[in-house]
Amino acid sequence: MKTTTQNQASSVNRMYCNFFGHQYTMSKKVTEHIKEYTCKCCKKQLTTNANGKLTDLTPTYQEINSVLERIYQVRVSRLKQARPQFSY
């Protein structure tokens, strides 16, 4: 019963989004250029793809993003550790 109500609510939200447009907020920063967005109305998720365009966050993209995120985190932590060297 509870599930049915929730499903109905989300379909109403989706109708609202179809009419007024989604209200995306950034839900995760994967890398400097790749971010994930969630619609605060219907919870639809988008991500930036390799071309810098927004696309549906499919399970494939979720996997890609988690790999990219790990690489990015390693790179960021290395940059923080690295000290500038002035060798003239």
Give the residues lining the site for Zn ion (CB under 5 A). Answer: 17, 22, 39, 41-42, 44
Measured from the CB atom, is 8 or 73 closer to Zn ion? 8
Give min distance, CB of 38 to Zn ion, in A: 9
Give min distance, CB of 34 to Zn ion, in A: 21
Give min distance, CB of 68 to Zn ion, in A: 25
59, with CB counted inside 10 A (0-12, 13-18, 19+), is exposed
Instruction: Tell me if 29 sits within 8 A of 23, measured CB to CB.
Output: no
Which of 57, 2, 3 has its CA nearest to residue 30? 57
Measured from the CB atom, is 58 or 66 closer to Zn ion? 58
